């Protein structure tokens, strides 16, 4: 059975934005990690791109950050070099610890607080906290849900605006 391609499922749309490869060693997972994140060109001649995907595993960037990336023949991909300009956004990782609670419900709580989320599994999601959002309110909710035994969380990348 073939599905008709819609404007949202065409091959061109699927590859509308370049993907930047991030390769690093994770102390938490004790292994090398490779993650590709969608980005939009800022200045392709200089190799500057703005990250537009919420990182699931990369702990040193957030959405909106401008990074330098160049093509690597060895990797066969556009490859991260360094952060050029931070966005002010933060990335939080949340894991569901209670089987009786649906992850979609937990994600909904934070989306109501104006945080975008990106799911990685039925137990884990990554969350974007925009620079203008009061992170202390988000942190209070994270701590409340953690105290209830529903989640655990990590703050892999807190921008200067969200430091406490």
| Residue ranges of domains in the chain | 11-85, 90-162
| Residue percentage of the chain with pLDDT more than 90 | 82
Per the model's pLDDT, the better-predicted residue between 16 and 135 turns out to be 135
Could you tell me the two tokens for 159? Answer: 């921008």
Q: In this predicted model, what pLDDT tens digit does every residue of 86-142 receive, in sequence order?
A: 999 999 999 999 999 899 999 999 999 999 999 888 899 999 999 999 999 999 999
* Distance separating alpha carbons of residues 117 and 15, to the nearest angstrom: 21
Q: Which fold has domain 90-162?
A: Alpha-Beta Plaits (3.30.70)
E-state strands within the chain: 19-26, 31-43, 48-51, 66-72, 77-85, 90-96, 116-119, 124-129, 151-157
Q: In this predicted model, what pLDDT tens digit does every residue of 44-58 receive, in sequence order?
A: 999 999 999 999 999
Instruction: Return the pLDDT at 15.
Output: 52
- pLDDT of 14 over the 90 cut: no
Long-range contacts of 115-121 (CB under 8 A, 24+ apart): 116/54, 116/63, 117/54, 118/53, 118/54, 118/56, 120/56
Q: What is the mean pLDDT of the chain?
A: 89
Cβ-in-10-Å burial (0-12, 13-18, 19+) of 6 comes to: exposed
Instruction: Return the pLDDT at 144.
Output: 98
């Amino acid at each position: 059975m073939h599905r008709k391609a819609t404007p949202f499922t065409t091959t061109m749309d699927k590859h509308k934005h370049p993907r930047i490869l991030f390769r690093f060693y994770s102390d938490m997972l004790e292994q090398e990690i490779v993650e590709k994140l969608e980005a939009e060109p800022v200045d392709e001649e200089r190799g500057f791109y703005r990250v537009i995907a919420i990182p699931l595993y990369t702990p040193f960037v957030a959405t909106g950050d401008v990074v330098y990336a160049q093509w690597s023949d060895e990797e066969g991909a556009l490859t991260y070099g360094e952060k050029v300009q931070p966005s002010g956004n933060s990335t939080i990782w949340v894991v569901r610890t209670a089987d009786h609670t649906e992850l979609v419900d937990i994600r909904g709580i934070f989306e109501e607080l104006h945080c975008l989320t990106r799911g990685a599994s039925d137990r884990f999601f990554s969350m974007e906290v925009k620079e203008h959002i009061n992170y202390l309110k988000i942190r209070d909710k994270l701590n409340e849900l953690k105290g209830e035994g529903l989640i655990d969380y990590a703050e892999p990348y807190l921008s200067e605006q969200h430091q406490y």
